[in-house]
Amino acid sequence: MKPMNNPLTKETPALRPYPAKLFVETTTRCNLQCPMCLKQRHDAEFLEGDISTDIFMALLPALPTLEVLVLNGIGEPLLHPRLDDFIGLAREKMDKNAWIGFQTNGLLIDGERAMSLVRAGVDRICLSVDAVSPATFSNIRQGGEFRNVEGAIKMLHAAKKTCNDRLEIGVEFVLRRDNIDELAETIQWAAAQGADFAIVTQLFPYHQALVSQTTYDANLDVSMSIFHEYMSRAEKEGIDIRRYYDVFMKYDKSAAEKKIIAFVESLVEDALRQGIALNLQKLFSTDHGWVEKMEKVFARARSVGTETGINLRLPEIIPKSARRCEFVEEGSIFVSWDGNVHPCYFLWHHYRCYINGVEKIVKPKVFGNLSARGILEIWNDPHFVSFRQNVLRYDYPFCFNCNFALCDYVEGGDFEQDCYINSEPCAVCLWCMDVFQCLK
């Protein structure tokens, strides 16, 4: 598939001499035990810790030119004892039009904490709300209760009314098969509570048991489009190409079976001419009824969003072939609690996940540590600049959509190159296809 046309200029945020967005992991500790979190894997490989004051102070040179500062990683940011101080310090250094925010489960927000955060200068707070029924909520956010989120929103609104009218309050909803019927109702509830925005994201399965909970399809949009086109044509001609895998290995084929083979071969040839990646087994096994159900779920959610005026961001049900890495394009930099600097969310931590049902080991991409080098020095390091330039060319295969997925090139954690000879492990990433969303 031809890479997306994205001319690189000095005005591209990724190539400026300073980052535009900064994602800072204030802590990896959490007060919940959500089953879908990578922290709940028994073999998760990372150390628990809080960002030190020295590491946070090392961020100061980047703050005056920042547009966005997000203060969360895989932990609960409100557990950091100096979070409010960090917000206040950043607010003093950042431009008045730049915003500071974080995502939280909201358990630690009472009236006093809400006032402290708002006075410090936080601009956006996004609360995790994956259902409005208490039972479903507690099953997903184990250790939390729905009433805690309700209370947190009320406290934040009271603090906003008192001392910071620019505060925006939002919710994040992680889609699962056991909660999608509550999506529209949750958005309706959030709007009724005065929420300004709602972020909806697909589930990133870190555990094999959660693969069956994912609600997005594994095929590309262009692959689905050409497949549906040929499926429709075949039906009109009375050819059942769904029998392809039943007949293609037969030695003695009937005339009808030969037509099936020829029709599928023409599909593959046409896709090849257009540069479209096909995974025939995935295409033939697609649950089209489920895709239609998800489209209806999203239609109801959009309707609620329009009626209530809440700013609603929905992910894709089918991955987009036109890649766009918002993290890199918009000049983002990610900092772990220990000071390591990374390029994006996908390459922020060491973990195992499931892509197209296959286990994938992901190792963090580290360009330096703030205890040894300055943040702007790391940002402008030739290796980091080259990485961002290469990403924005979008000349990567679609590994999850490949008939050989996942192959030895990309399956293991010790990634060297993909089959296009790229040294960036972006070919297996779904963030750039609008499948996953976050506060950004």
Judgement on whether residues 205 and 271 belong to the same structural domain of the protein: no
Q: Are 255 and 238 in the same domain?
A: yes
User: Which of 285, 305, 321 delimits the end of a domain?
Assistant: 285
CATH number for position 204: 3.20.20.70
Segment 321-342 shows an average pLDDT of 96
What is the per-residue pLDDT across 78-126, written as a single tens digit (0 to 9) for each? 999 999 999 999 999 999 999 999 999 999 999 999 999 999 999 999 9
Tell whether 316 is covered by a domain.
yes
- Residue 26 clears pLDDT 90, i.e. is over it: yes
Whether residues 56 and 125 share a domain: the answer is yes
82 located within any domain: yes
Spatial separation of the C-alpha atoms in residues 226 and 217, rounded to whole Å: 15
Query: Based on the domain organization, do 240 and 206 belong to the same domain?
Result: no
Q: Are residues 188 and 233 in the same domain?
A: no
Residues 339 and 254 in one domain: no
pTM of the model: 0.94
Closest CA to 277 of 220, 227, 328: 220
Residue 32 falls inside a structural domain: yes
Among the candidates 232, 265, 285, a domain finishes at: 285
Please indicate, yes or no, if residue 2 is contained in any of the structural domains.
no
Q: What is the dihedral of CA 262, 263, 265, 266, to 10 degrees?
A: 120
- In whole angstroms, what is the distance from residue 69 CA to residue 302 CA? 28
Are residue 122 and residue 62 in the same domain, yes or no?
yes
Tell whether 318 is covered by a domain. Answer: yes
pLDDT for residue 409: 59
Mean pLDDT score of the chain, rounded to an integer? 92
Same domain, 44 and 127: yes
pLDDT per residue over 215-266, tens digit each?
999 899 999 999 999 999 999 999 999 999 999 888 899 999 999 999 999 9
Q: Which residues of 331-354 are buried (b: 16+ CB within 10 A; e: fewer)?
A: bbbbbbbbbbbbbbbbbbbebbbb
For the stretch 379-416, pLDDT in tens is 999 999 999 999 999 998 887 777 666 666 566 667 77
Residue 196 and residue 53 in one domain: yes
Domain count, the chain: 2
Same domain as 124, residue 70? yes
Q: Is residue 7 part of a domain?
A: no
pLDDT digits (tens, 9 = 90+) for 346-357: 999 999 998 877
- Reported as a single tens digit per residue, the pLDDT across 278-324 is 889 889 999 989 999 999 999 999 999 999 999 999 999 999 999 99
Is residue 23 in a domain?
yes
* Residue 72 pLDDT exceeds 80: yes
123 shares a domain with 261: no
Final residue before a domain boundary, out of 264, 285, 306: 285
Residue 105 shares a structural domain with residue 161: yes
| Residues recorded for the chain | 440
pLDDT given at position 355? 83
Alpha-carbon distance of 321 to 434, in angstroms, equals 10
Cβ atoms 87, 120 nearer than 8 A:
yes
Residue located via tokens 């203060």: 71
Domain that holds residue 257: 221-285
Q: Answer yes or no: is 438 within a domain.
A: no
